[in-house]
Amino acid sequence: MTMMLVHIGFTFPVSPCKIETKRFERKLCTKQSLNVDQIDYGCGGMANLIRHNETRRCECFDIYSELVPYKDAWYWQKSLVRKRQTSVKRCEDHADALIILQHHPVYTLGTGSSEKFLHFDIENAPYDLYRTERGGEVTYHGPGQLVMYPILNLRCHKMDLHWYLRSLEEVVIRALFTSFSIKASRIEGLTGVWFGNKKLAAVGIRVSQWITYHGLALNVTTDLSPFNQIVPCGIHDHHVGSLGEFLWASEKKGADENFNLMAIVHDSLLKEFSEVFQLSIEHKDIGDLQISTAKSVMHC
Task: Write out the catalytic residue numbers.
Answer: 233
Name the DSSP letter for residue 10: E
Q: Which contacts qualify for 127-131: CB closer than 8 Å, 24 or more apart?
A: 127/226, 128/70, 128/104, 130/70, 130/71, 130/74, 130/106
Q: Please list the residues that pair with 38 across neighbouring strands.
A: 50
Q: Is there a contact between 220 and 242 (Cβ–Cβ < 8 Å)?
A: yes
Calpha distance 273→125 (Å, rounded)? 34
Q: Which of 113, 165, 112, 121 is nearest to 138 (CA)?
A: 113
Calpha distance 111→141 (Å, rounded)? 17
